[in-house]
Structure 1
Amino acid sequence: MQDSDPKHPGFFLNPSEKSPSYRSRAHLLPVAHETEFPSSLKKGLLIDPETATKTESETETLSFDKPVVCTRCHSLRHYGKVKDPTVENLLPDFDFDYTIGRRLASTGGTRSVVLMVVDSVDFDGSFPRKVAKLVTATIEENHKAWKEGKPANLPRMVLVVTKIDLLPSTVEPVRLERWVKRQARAGGAGQNTITSFHFVSAVKDWGLKNLVDDVVGLAGPRGCVWTVGAQNAGKSTLINALGKCLGGRIAHLTEAPVPGTTLGIVRVEGVLPGKTKLFDTPGLLHPNQITTRLSREEQRLVHIGKELKPRTYRIKSGHTIHIAGLMRLDIEQSSVDSIYITVWASPYLPLHMGKTENAQTMLEKHFGRQLQPPIGENRVEELGKWVKRKFWVRGDSWDSSSVDIAASGLGWFAVGIKGKAVFCVWTYEGVDVVIRPALIPYRSNTFEDAGFTVSKIVSKADQASNKQRQDAKRKQSNPKASVLAESPLLTVDADSNSC
């Protein structure tokens, strides 16, 4: 606790000093004897002007369940940002191993169910590998003890893939499920340790009822359900949607498109039936996600809030594609003339396609301007060092994408090729880049042109640069006018001599 800075966590104020006679209420008249106050107000009920015509008996039955929230949650709910971003770095990280891992490893107690929430449009970046490995090891160890006749409590692990409404409607459910199972095993989950898979959308209410029925059956009447996932994977949004879907008590959990909204373990009442306990946990910090180093304004540009639309290029060796100023794909070598590259990322991010030999010029002249984020030229250096990774790709079709090259927290390039190629991916140091089987094999029917894509960011940057060029030309053509415009105004004193 501290009382020096009201912006920092733990701020408090000492109570004001009171006079010795402050407990004496002899000069006050009891509220019950006041004639000008209605009985409804004496009982603690607040009458809304719209319902003022109702009788007192009807007013007394009104219930108000508006939650009381702190200023941080209020700012996140209504403005999508925190009042002071610098204070967020002072908040402690959530230690899953110490807080929940010990309970899962316990041989006794109630049954535990771990809901691993993963973002469908950032699967590899949001998949909690550490949690999957820990729960898998616990299940295998307790299962071995159970076979030996020792007491054991096997936790259940359920994988919940959220935000499936952001995927194109052409994605086949069966193919998506196979793809998720393959990637989950690659992320550290055991062969048979995941009890069930669920694909849900909190916005469209898809799959919520089946998820609750499955969780209740696994947890039993007194079990504990732990909702775990990366920051901004949609855990709080999912729990709020479950409460609305089941018609129970609505959970007023703060949700915002900002990583790290939930700060502590929150027990949610009234969502699951019986005495089953549901807990919302803080988002796990994945420093390999590019969103962890972006500002709030930059995160809003990267955030995917609508159904993904493909943006496809038909290019050849020696060309480069930029996703804003965050990621770059170079085609270094290729055994074929044409390669189809489909970009799956936020529609607010501008793209650029050009020759690889001009890539350094793009970095120096357009990063922070036409290619945002980063917003501002100074932010380019703040994000870190620009590093390269090399990938060897082989495909057997031009009509569909064979592999994805994905960056955590940003998006991915889908590669359609009938042959072999060598790709170089550039991004900031520390950002995780993986190659995987294609999530969405389809591409756009129309191709993007070379140069910048149509974007508000690009148009504003072009207007600013054009204005600077016009000002420079105006100064060169009429240097006297520019000197007069830049010179200070001449003033004459009141007592000076005049002609």
Structure 2
Amino acid sequence: MQSADPALPGFFNLPSPKSPDYRARLAPVTADDTGISASLKSGLLQEGQEKSREGQAVAVVASEAEAEKKSKVVVCARCHSLRHYGHVKRPDAEVLLPDFDFVAAVGPRLASPSGARSLVLLLADASDFDGSFPRAVARLVAVTSEAHHADWKHGAPSNLPRAVLVVTKLDLLPTPSLSPDDVHAWAQARARAGAGADLQLAGVHLVSAARGWGVRDLLNHVRELAGARGKVWAVGARNVGKSTLLNAIARCSGAESGQTLTEAPVPGTTLGVIRVDGVLGAQAKLFDTPGLLHGHQLTSRLTPEEQKLVQVRKEMRPRTYRIKAGQSIHIGGLARLDVEDLTVGSIYVTVWASPLVPLHMGKTENAESMMKDHFGLQLQPPIGQKRVKELGKWVRKQFKVSGNSWDANTMDIAISGLGWYGIGLKGEAVLGLWTYDGVDVVPRSSLVHERASIFEETGFSVSKVVSRADSMTNKLKGNKKTNKKEMKASSHSSEVPESSEPATVIDA
């Protein structure tokens, strides 16, 4: 923390303590006060009783003040703003914060063959698994474990770091239609696809900190793996829910340290490695680490206002289209799927993304005009047409897709930091996916097989963003028409001679 500049992160100004003689002013008691006992109004209380009760009250107040002082959590102005208002006061100062490099900061400890046992919790967001999964850290654990295992075979001391995959925010998926066993196997396969087949997982846990799902099982497993003196590191991308999960674990463990980690729907809330005390017991240590910045996620390029539109905060709902060759589906101004060629008449495309992001389905031949006229307006994010160029170059990736069922989605095309298209077909298709250069686009087996019971129609989806943009556009058009009429009226009045007299009307 620092107390030099309130505009910079970490500012903290110690509040002045209240005087021990401070007493809140009380309103005078009158005979009309119904909330005061009749005995107090009539003065029947004995003086000794009054003094005794007064002394007891002072003692209680003093003990409560002392307890509050001990349990009071000291936070900086930035954390206070995040906790109570959900945003930072100075977003421009966030660029001064250093990025956290887990490999450089914690990697040497994992690579050391001696010392306490290391356990790494690899956190991934259920609604953006491939974008949020910490691939580099998972690869580090896999390589280190392989090297230590070779040393152990030759009789050298070795401390094999272990990894546990934790899929957070499970409540965001349509859980009634999902089998936990299927999601478990799917997540394990995706983790190995991102980190390599050498990644050995000590366990896979599906949790929801908001609902408390799976938290106790995770805590018991972590305690078992960490032992009495182990070190546990929670690692994940920004806004994956690390601090929220660790607070849920602390509540589940019954920890009474009074420490709570700052939670906020703002990427990069945690700035440094924080030790969470009183959770694992004995001498084992649990650490919360800053969120990793993934440049391949779309959210890393968006402004705070744009991130609010993209972030999924409620259970995801499918939006399904029946689409033919030569048609396209936009997800805001961030992604576009073109159906270029089909061996069948049509296919089903289900969009899984934030409901705040508007969609549009139309002809591919009109895609360029859509980008020119509607990106930043009806199709947000980005917010504002100037932001379109700031996000980078618009590039295409091609995918050849095949399926054998009309009843369910057979594969996904996921856009990191945004969501995914679920594809359902019985035949083959050639698809083109457009998004900004550098954003990861991943073909994968389908996570959610279901689709909407009522299909979306051609054109813009029903959205507050679209309605707001339409009303603004209509207002601008109305202002232009009014200005033109005023200009015409003024030009006509200027053409009339000053000496001209009004015409005389003669009744027939």
Deviation at 1:12, TM superposition (A): 10
Q: Tell me how far apart the structure 2 counterparts of residues 158 and 470 of structure 1 sit (CA, whole Å).
A: 59
User: How do residues 341-352 of structure 1 correspond to structure 2 at under 5 angstroms?
Assistant: 341-352=349-360
Is the 1:160–1:198 contact (alpha carbons within 8 Å) kept by the matching residues of 2?
yes
How far 1:118 sits from its partner (Å)?
Answer: 0.8
Equivalent position amino acid for 1:445 in 2:
S
Change (3 A) 1:299 1:192: closer
3-state secondary structure, aligned to 2:74: coil
- Of 173, 182, 187 in structure 1, the residue corresponding to residue 189 of structure 2 is 182
Amino acid at match of 2:350: T
CA distance in 1, matches of 2:227, 2:155: 23
Q: In the TM superposition, what is the alpha-carbon distance from 1:465 to its structure 2 partner?
A: 1.0
Q: Residue 404 of structure 1 contacts residue 438 of structure 1 at CA under 8 Å; is this kept in 2?
A: yes
Q: Which residue of 1 aligns with 2:225?
A: 218
Bigger CA drift: 404-413 or 263-272?
263-272
After superposition, residues 436-455 of structure 1 pair within 5 angstroms as: 436-455=444-463
How many Å separate the matches in 2 of 1:178 and 1:102?
A: 31
C-alpha contact (below 8 Å) 2:329/2:359 kept by paired residues:
yes
Aligned twin of 2:433: 425
Q: Name 2:497's counterpart in structure 1.
A: none
- Matches of 1:427 and 1:92, distance apart in 2: 28
Aligned identity (percent) is 55
Please state which structure has a larger fraction of its residues in helix.
2
CA distance in 2, matches of 1:84, 1:239: 27
In structure 2, what is the Cα distance between the partners aligned to 1:298 and 1:342? 23
Query: 1:318-369 CA distances to partner (integer Å, 9 max, x unpaired)?
Result: 0000000111100111111111000000010000000001111110111111
Cα separation, partners in 2 of 1:271 and 1:421, compared to 1, 3 Å: same
1:168-217 Cα offsets, whole Å, 9 max, x none, are: 02111111111111101101154561101111100000111111111111
Q: In structure 1, what is the Cα distance between the partners aligned to 2:192 and 2:80?
A: 39
Q: Between 197-206 and 253-262, report the one with greater CA deviation.
A: 253-262
Q: 1:184 to 1:481 in 2, by over 3 A?
A: same
Task: Pick which of 475-484 and 343-352 moved more.
Answer: 475-484
Contact 2:11 2:77 in 1 (8 A): no
Report the counterpart of residue 120 of structure 2 in structure 1.
114
Paired position in structure 2 for 1:57: 59
TM-score (ref. length: structure 2): 0.85
Cα RMSD of the aligned pairs, angstroms, is 2.5
Q: What displacement does 1:4 show?
A: 9.3
SS in structure 1 opposite 2:414?
strand
Select the residue among 242, 248, 256 that pairs with 2:255: 248
Matches within 5 A, 1:63-462: 63-64=67-68, 65-169=71-175, 170-191=177-198, 193-249=200-256, 250-462=258-470
Q: Distance in 2 between matches of 1:180 and 1:305?
A: 21
Shift in CA distance, 112/482, structure 1 to aligned 2, threshold 3 Å: farther
Give the conservation status (yes or no) of the 8 Å contact 1:47–1:59. Answer: no
Counterpart amino acid of residue 359 in structure 2: L
Secondary structure, aligned partner of 1:114:
strand
Secondary structure class of the residue paired with 1:283: coil
Distance 1:2 1:123, change over 3 A: closer
**Could you say if the C-alpha distance between residues 11 and 233 of structure 1 is closer, same or farther in structure 2, counting changes exceeding 3 Å?**
closer
55-64 vs 260-269, which moves further = 55-64
Distance 1:421 1:8, change over 3 A: same
Gapped runs of 5+ residues in structure 2?
27-53, 493-508
Distance 1:142 1:470, change over 3 A: same
- In structure 1, the residue matched to 2:472 is 464
The alignment of Structure 1 onto Structure 2 pairs a total of residues equal to 456
CA distance in 1 between partners of 2:412 and 2:339 (Å): 14
* Structure 1: distance between partners of 2:302 and 2:378: 17
1:66: how far off? 3.1
| Aligned CA distance change for structure 1 residues 270 and 451 (closer, same or farther; 3 Å) | same
What is residue 28 of structure 1 aligned with on the other side?
none
Match of 1:26 in 2: none
Matches of 1:53 and 1:163, distance apart in 2: 51
Q: Deviations over 1:5-51 (max 9, x none)?
A: 653458899xxxxxxxxxxxxxxxxxxxxxxx99xx27xx99899xx
- Paired position in structure 2 for 1:16: none
* AA aligned opposite 1:431: V
Deviates further, 236-245 or 409-418: 236-245
Query: What secondary structure, in the 3-state scheme, does the structure 2 residue paired with 1:55 have?
Result: helix
* CA displacement at 1:470 relative to structure 2: 2.1
| 3-state DSSP of counterpart to 1:471 | helix
Q: Give CA-to-partner distance per residue, 1:67-113, whole Å, 9 cap, x none.
A: 22111112222222222222212211112122111111111111111
